[in-house]
């Protein structure tokens, strides 16, 4: 590996307790992701894609194993510290309902920034600029429910990037969109993330994305397989 | 199909036990309070009748007398004139020699009165008591009957001795038998009763030659007999039917009862918000389920029936629990209510909670109908849900916003209507209270709209400083207004009712305090109880008064006699004054007057009436009241109306000089002592107390003032208690709304967590939101509470009791109201906030 490692996963185990029964999702996963790499995750429904992303973002803690991001083992952190880590270093896009319905588009974008620093005039200008790029400049003060699904996803992507995180996690970001819209969204991801040299892991079924990926993994039999 | 439908919805209900429990609690508490008040009140009022069944059984009429009692010769006269079915009674109260025992009622009866009276104590005597019990009661002096339970608790065996304190020292009675309790007469009613024959009672109570009343059983020819009996009665005696007597007791306590019941309804009103909240939650949460069902071909009608049958089940369970709780609560309220009736209306000796199916049925009907009313809207909402597209919460919210505007504007009519009802409904107490409910409900409906406005305002003013995160609580309050609005409205109603009542009680307290200050002009007051019927009492009283007047340091004395006269066919409290010059200043007249008033009061057949009396009898100055005297009826002109808060029935005031022209001398019940300026009042007090017998007492005006104020506070204990109950229900309502709210936005909270908001930040967020809701409720409650107080003081209380009082504004009360609402909301928010903070973000994201 010539590039420095952004994410290192060692001996990752995760299972869920479903009433009396234990359901093993991951059994000793190993993975290395370099800085700036674009990883695509495949897998049947219920295979554990979302779970995997949740583990990396620290939303869900592993049963055992290490998840090292930027040299910090987040699996050793407390819940609170994981949250603070996520706040600074990770941006997340879900399949749908990403935005806070009670905040305007601009406010949704400002929220992650506000969590890490004091807002300035410049931040507001940046937000306006970013929305311009997304072709949403007119929707600055609209509430999310006034936006179409594709527009909402574009805002969600912008929000995942606004605070300049190191890692972007996207869980089927185009899953709810038609082909055209999905294309636009992916294009956006490409422009914003690849160009900025961000590391990204995306769970998807979309064929086009697979083509753009640096590496493609699929989840089978409780572990990751390089395609 | 149908059963599957029901099962799918029932499964859902079981997944939300919290909401289910809270809804049932809301119904149950509301119903419980209403039933408890009804039971306790009815039992207190009925106990009066219950007790008399023990010794009068089937009597229909009664000859009663004002002070001075009935001469026992009247009984013989009536018999001689052919009036049969008579039962003479001598009644009075004694204390047991044993320390700290309550007083007991002694009832002297004729053991051989006709069987037809079916008195309770006779009916119960069967094989277990020897037949010569009556004979023994009659022939052996100082024999008595007592309830078995009481005897046990006092450790008295059959033929044991019961020691009493009488005005002439201790006296023992031999207990020769026990009073049985029957279906009609419960154990508790008998608990404080001692039954003797007439002679023994007369001796114990110091009533030689007197009767307290004569019970009569009139059957067919009632009117004829009534007229005959009336013609034989002396001036102080009155023939009343027991029905009318009971009726007048109820009339007397009517205002009190209505006001109490209104407090119960307040709880139910607040409870209604709770039910409404839960039902909307249950419908909204199932919009997917309902949507899918509609897709499968389930009709609107069926959905409606489904929701309704669910509500029916909830209402049934809630109401049943409410009835059980109500009976328990009623037991607790019984003492409070009968104590208050005792203190301000008439003596209730013993009370037992009597539960009738009618009352339970009433409570049941009320609980069920209130629930149905509350769920009507959510049930219709459910049928409106589109089968094709499940509406997002925000879409539903925008729908409810429209509703909120419509409701908000139309609530104006309710409020204006309420105010109109308040001021243009004559003397009706019911309408006066109804107006308060209209006003409260109107403002409750207005609350969501006002909340939206205020949240906008907060954002405009503080938005810049708050930042995005700080704006979030404000936004959340308005975004989910259909939930938050309900919670705020319920809290607002409870708090404004509290503020209103506090302002009213405070104003009342001030008014009474001022009145007491001015109406206690003397330095010392001697009270002279002891039975007023005692034949030589007036002589001793006169001597005492003279002795006091001659004491060194006494400037002047005044006297008062509290008695009852028969005015317009009713026994009416009358105070007969011998006023000292200083005591005349103590009257607060409700009209302008000149000094000739006192002169007329002393020398002409004239009266002063108190404000409540004038109100209840619609009397004005110059009108005449007919009083029954030994020489026949005599008209007395009303020449003054004065403020008086000592009782809500009001009384008459007469000068002693005039009184003695028409009625016999009964001595005094009180002597007011005015000390000279230089005299040592404490010393005077101790010197006076040396002149007194054990039953007489001397007290300073300060002591009486304090005792009176304590009594005042005591009469409001029940109001306080009930108010807290409705506040508690409001609290549960807010809690349930907040729980529902958090549950509905769990996904949103998950997103916030994924952005990097910590769980403690989330708690702060939720708590700020609920604090904001509390603040909103508190702020709104101030003007509403103010209006409620105004209507209470100038409409409801004035109509209920005939009192006018001044409105005293108290900023502290308002402040307390805000704090109460704020803290209640915060407390209600703590649990949901913690629960949400603890919810795993991964779990939260999995929903929806
Ligand atoms: N909190 C949980 N408790 C129990 N089981 C869970 C929990 N979260 C996930 N699972 C289970 O773990 C498995 C993986 O779930 P996950 O959501 O990661 O799948 P996925 O690959 O994202 O599927 P999809 O493509 O449908 O989104 C599933 O079988 C799911 O039921
Ligand atoms: Mg998934």
DSSP for A148-213? Answer: -HHHHHHHHHHHHHHT--SEEEEESTTTTS-HHHHHHHHHHHIIIIIHHT-EEEEE---HHHHHH-
Q: B481 in contact with A at a CB cutoff of 8 Å?
A: no
3-state SS, residue B628: strand
pLDDT at residue B84, as a whole number: 75
pLDDT at residue B688, as a whole number: 92
Which chain B residue shows the shortest CA-CA distance from A52? B842
User: What does the pLDDT average to over A114-124?
Assistant: 85
Q: What's the alpha-carbon Rg for chain B, to the nearest Å?
A: 33
Place of tokens 């695509």: A40
Task: Quick: pLDDT tens for B759-806.
Answer: 999 999 999 999 999 999 999 999 999 999 999 999 988 888 888 888
Residue in B246, B256, B429 with CA at minimum distance from that of residue B340: B256
What stretch of H or E contains B92? strand B86-96
Q: B758 in contact with A at a CB cutoff of 8 Å?
A: yes
- DSSP of B539-581: HHHHHHHHHHHHSTTEEEEEEEEEEEEEETTEEEEEEEEE--T
Between A and B, how many residue pairs show a Cβ–Cβ distance under 8 A?
82
- DSSP of B750-807: HHHHHHT--HHHHHHHHHHHHHHHHHHHHHHHHHHHHHHHHHIIIIIIHHHH------
Q: How far apart are CA B702 and CA B417, in angstroms?
A: 46
- Residue spans of the domains in chain A: they are 37-49+79-226
pLDDT at residue B703, as a whole number: 92
Q: What are phi and psi of B250, to 5 degrees?
A: -70, -40
Contacts of A97 in chain B (CB under 8 A): 747-748, 751, 848
What stretch of H or E contains A30? strand A21-34
> CA of A214 to nearest chain B CA: how many angstroms apart?
26
Which chain A residue shows the shortest CA-CA distance from B481? A102
pLDDT averaged over every residue in chain A = 86
3-state SS, residue B163: strand
pLDDT at residue B128, as a whole number: 46
Q: B622 in contact with A at a CB cutoff of 8 Å?
A: no
> CA of B796 to nearest chain A CA: how many angstroms apart?
45
Phi/psi class of residue A221: alpha, beta or left (left: φ > 0; alpha: ψ in -120 to 50)?
A: left
Which chain A residue shows the shortest CA-CA distance from B751? A98
Nearest by CB to residue B468, choosing from A54, A92, A103, is: A103
* Distance from Cα A220 to the centre of ligand 2, integer Å: 14
> CA of B473 to nearest chain A CA: how many angstroms apart?
9
Q: How far apart are CA B27 and CA B272, in angstroms?
A: 7
Question: Is residue B47 a contact partner of residue B352, using CB atoms and an 8 Å limit?
Answer: yes
Task: Quick: pLDDT tens for B257-288.
Answer: 888 888 888 888 888 887 888 778 877 777 77
Question: Is residue A125 a contact partner of residue A110, using CB atoms and an 8 Å limit?
Answer: no
Nearest CA to ligand 1 atom 4: A16
> CA of B774 to nearest chain A CA: how many angstroms apart?
20
Burial of B633 (0-12, 13-18, 19+ CB in 10 A): exposed
Is there a contact between A159 and B755 if contact means CB atoms under 8 Å apart? yes
3-state SS, residue B167: coil
List beta partners, residue A92.
Answer: A169
Nearest by CB to residue B758, choosing from A54, A80, A119, is: A80
What is the Cα B830 distance to its own chain's centre? 35
3-state SS, residue B79: helix
Q: Could you say which ligand is closest to the alpha carbon of residue A15?
A: 1
Q: Where are the alpha helices (DSSP H) in B647-716?
A: 656-662, 681-691, 701-715
Is there a contact between B467 and A103 if contact means CB atoms under 8 Å apart? no
Q: How many residues does chain A have?
A: 227
- HSE on the CB side for B25, CA within 13 Å? 20
Q: How far apart are CA B216 and CA B805, in angstroms?
A: 44
- HSE on the CB side for A52, CA within 13 Å? 34
Pocket of ligand 1 (CB under 6 A): A 16, 18, 23, 25, 43, 45-51; B 842-843
Tokens of residue B187, six digits: 């154990």
Interface of B with A in 759-778 (CB under 8 A): 759-760
Task: Tell whether the torsion through CA atoms of B405, B409, B410 and B414 is positive or negative.
Answer: positive
Mutate to test the pocket of ligand 1, among A18, A49, A93 (most ligand atoms within 8 A of CB): A49
Question: Is residue B207 a contact partner of residue B10, using CB atoms and an 8 Å limit?
Answer: no
DSSP E strand boundaries for B97-245: 103-109, 143-147, 161-166, 169-179, 193-197, 210-211, 213-216, 237-241
Contacts of B469 in chain A (CB under 8 A): 111, 114-115
A220, pLDDT greater than 70: yes
Contacts of B475 in chain A (CB under 8 A): 102-103
DSSP character at residue B126:
-
Nearest CA to ligand 1 atom 10: A16
pLDDT at residue B507, as a whole number: 92
CATH number of A37-49+79-226: 3.40.50.300
Q: What are phi and psi of B86, to 5 degrees?
A: -115, 145
- Sites in chain B below the pLDDT cut of 50: 1, 126-129
Place of tokens 């019961």: B162
List beta partners, residue B237.
Answer: B65
Q: How far apart are CA B722 and CA B710, in angstroms?
A: 19
Nearest CA to ligand 1 atom 26: A45
Q: Strands B670-675, B554-567: parallel, antiparallel or unpaired by DSSP?
A: antiparallel
- Residue spans of the domains in chain B: they are 70-235, 421-431+445-520+709-848, 529-695
> CA of B478 to nearest chain A CA: how many angstroms apart?
9
Nearest CA to ligand 1 atom 18: A48
Tokens of residue B198, six digits: 């007439």
* Distance from Cα A164 to the centre of ligand 2, integer Å: 25
**Helix, strand, coil abundance in chain A, percent, nearest 5:** 40, 30, 30
Is there a contact between A80 and B760 if contact means CB atoms under 8 Å apart? yes
Task: Tell whether the torsion through CA atoms of B815, B821, B827 and B833 is positive or negative.
Answer: negative
Is there a contact between B479 and A159 if contact means CB atoms under 8 Å apart? no
Residue in B381, B262, B359, B283 with CA at minimum distance from that of residue B23: B283
Contacts of A100 in chain B (CB under 8 A): 472, 748, 751-752
């Amino acid at each position: 590996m010539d590039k420095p490692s952004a994410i290192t996963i060692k001996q990752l185990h995760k299972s869920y307790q479903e009433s009396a029964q234990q359901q093993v999702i991951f059994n000793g996963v190993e993975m290395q992701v370099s800085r700036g790499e674009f990883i695509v995750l495949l897998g049947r429904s219920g295979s554990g894609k979302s779970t995997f992303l949740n583990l990396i973002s620290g939303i869900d803690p592993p049963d055992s194993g290490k998840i090292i991001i930027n040299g910090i083992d987040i699996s050793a952190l407390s819940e609170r510290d994981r949250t603070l880590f996520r706040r600074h270093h990770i941006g997340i896009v879900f399949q749908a309902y990403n935005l806070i319905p009670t905040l305007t588009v601009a406010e949704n974008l400002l929220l992650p920034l506000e969590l890490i620093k004091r807002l300035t005039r410049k931040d507001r200008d940046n937000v306006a600029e970013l929305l311009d790029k997304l072709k949403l400049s007119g929707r600055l003060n609209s509430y999310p429910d006034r936006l179409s699904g594709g527009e909402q996803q574009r805002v969600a992507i912008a929000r995942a990037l606004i605070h300049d995180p190191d890692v972007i996690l996207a869980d089927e970001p185009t899953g709810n969109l038609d082909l055209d819209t999905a294309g636009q969204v992916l294009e956006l991801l490409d422009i914003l993330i690849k160009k900025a040299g961000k590391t990204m892991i995306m769970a998807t079924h979309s064929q086009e994305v697979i083509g753009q990926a640096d590496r493609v993994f699929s989840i089978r039999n409780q572990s990751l397989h390089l395609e | 199909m149908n059963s599957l439908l029901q099962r799918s919805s029932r499964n859902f209900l079981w997944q939300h036990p919290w909401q289910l429990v809270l809804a049932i609690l809301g119904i149950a508490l509301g119903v419980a309070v209403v039933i408890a008040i009804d039971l306790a009140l009815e039992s207190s009022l009925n106990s009066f009748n219950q007790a008399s069944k023990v010794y009068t059984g089937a009597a229909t009429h009664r000859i009663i007398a004002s002070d001075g009692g009935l001469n026992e010769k009247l009984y013989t006269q009536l018999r001689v004139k052919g009036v049969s079915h008579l039962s003479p009674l001598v009644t009075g109260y004694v204390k047991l020699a044993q320390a700290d025992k309550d007083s007991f009622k002694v009832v002297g009866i004729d053991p051989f009165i006709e069987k037809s009276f079916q008195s309770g104590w006779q009916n119960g005597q069967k094989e277990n008591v020897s037949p010569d019990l009556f004979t023994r009661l009659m022939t052996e002096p100082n024999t008595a009957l007592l309830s078995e339970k009481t005897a046990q608790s006092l450790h008295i065996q059959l033929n044991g001795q019961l020691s009493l304190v009488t005005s002439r020292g201790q006296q023992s009675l031999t207990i020769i038998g026990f009073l049985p309790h029957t279906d009609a007469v419960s154990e508790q009613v008998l608990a404080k009763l001692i039954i003797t024959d007439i002679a023994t009672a007369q001796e114990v109570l110091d009533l030689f030659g007197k009767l307290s009343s004569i019970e009569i059983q009139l059957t067919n020819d009632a009117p004829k007999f009534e007229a005959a009996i009336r013609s034989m009665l002396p001036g102080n005696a009155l023939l009343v039917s027991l029905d009318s007597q009971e009726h007048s007791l109820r009339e007397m306590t009517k205002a009190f009862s209505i006001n109490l019941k209104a407090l119960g309804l307040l709880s139910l009103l607040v409870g209604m918000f709770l039910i409404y909240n839960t039902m909307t939650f249950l419908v909204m949460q199932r919009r997917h389920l309902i949507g899918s069902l509609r897709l499968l071909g389930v009709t609107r009608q069926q959905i409606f029936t489904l929701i309704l049958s669910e509500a029916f089940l909830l209402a049934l369970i809630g109401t049943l629990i409410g009835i059980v709780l109500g009976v328990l609560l009623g037991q607790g309220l019984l003492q409070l209510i009968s104590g208050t009736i005792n203190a301000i209306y008439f003596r209730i000796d013993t009370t037992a909670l009597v539960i009738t199916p009618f009352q339970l049925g009433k409570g049941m009907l009320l609980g069920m109908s209130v629930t149905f009313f509350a769920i009507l809207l959510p049930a219709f909402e459910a049928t409106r849900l589109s089968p094709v597209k499940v509406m997002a919460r925000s879409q539903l919210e925008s729908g409810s916003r429209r509703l909120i505007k419509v409701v908000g504007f139309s609530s104006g009519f309710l409020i204006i209507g309420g105010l109109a009802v308040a001021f243009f409904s004559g003397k009706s107490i019911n309408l006066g209270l109804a107006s308060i409910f209209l006003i409260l409900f109107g403002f409750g409906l207005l609350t969501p709209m006002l909340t939206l406005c205020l949240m906008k305002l907060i954002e405009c003013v503080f938005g810049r400083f708050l930042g995005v995160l700080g704006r979030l609580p404000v936004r959340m309050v308005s975004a989910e207004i259909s939930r938050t609005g309900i919670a705020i409205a319920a809290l607002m109603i409870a708090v404004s009712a509290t503020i209103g009542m506090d302002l009213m009680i405070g104003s009342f307290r001030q008014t009474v305090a001022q009145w007491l200050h001015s109406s206690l002009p003397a330095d010392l007051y001697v009270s002279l109880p002891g039975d007023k019927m005692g034949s030589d009492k007036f002589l001793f009283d006169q001597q005492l008064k003279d002795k006091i007047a001659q004491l060194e340091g006494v400037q002047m004395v005044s006297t008062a006699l509290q008695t009852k006269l028969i005015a317009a066919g009713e026994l009416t409290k009358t105070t007969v004054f011998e006023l000292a010059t200083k005591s005349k200043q103590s009257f607060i007249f409700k009209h302008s007057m000149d000094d000739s008033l006192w002169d007329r009061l002393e020398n002409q057949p004239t009266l002063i009436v108190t404000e409540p009396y004038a109100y209840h009898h619609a009397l004005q100055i110059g009108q005449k009241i007919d009083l029954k005297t030994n020489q026949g009826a005599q008209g007395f002109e009303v020449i003054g109306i004065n403020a008086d808060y000592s009782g809500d029935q009001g009384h008459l005031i007469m000068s002693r000089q005039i009184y003695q022209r028409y009625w016999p001398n009964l001595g005094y019940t009180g002597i007011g002592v005015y000390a000279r300026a230089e005299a040592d009042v404490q010393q005077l007090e101790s010197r006076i107390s040396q002149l007194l017998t054990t039953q007489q007492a001397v007290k300073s005006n300060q002591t009486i003032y304090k005792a009176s104020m304590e009594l005042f506070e005591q009469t409001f204990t029940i109001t306080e208690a009930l108010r807290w109950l409705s506040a508690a229900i409001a609290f549960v309502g807010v809690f349930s709304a907040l729980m529902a709210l958090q549950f509905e936005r769990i996904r949103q909270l998950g997103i916030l967590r994924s952005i990097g908001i910590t769980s403690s930040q989330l708690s702060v967020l939720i708590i700020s939101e609920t604090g904001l809701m509390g603040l909103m409720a508190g702020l709104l409650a101030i003007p509403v509470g103010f209006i409620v107080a105004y209507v209470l003081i100038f409409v409801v209380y004035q109509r209920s009791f005939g009192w006018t009082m001044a409105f005293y504004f108290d900023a502290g009360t308002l402040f307390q109201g805000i704090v109460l609402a704020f803290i209640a909301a915060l407390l209600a928010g703590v649990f949901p906030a913690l629960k949400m903070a603890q919810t795993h973000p991964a779990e939260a994201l999995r929903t929806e």
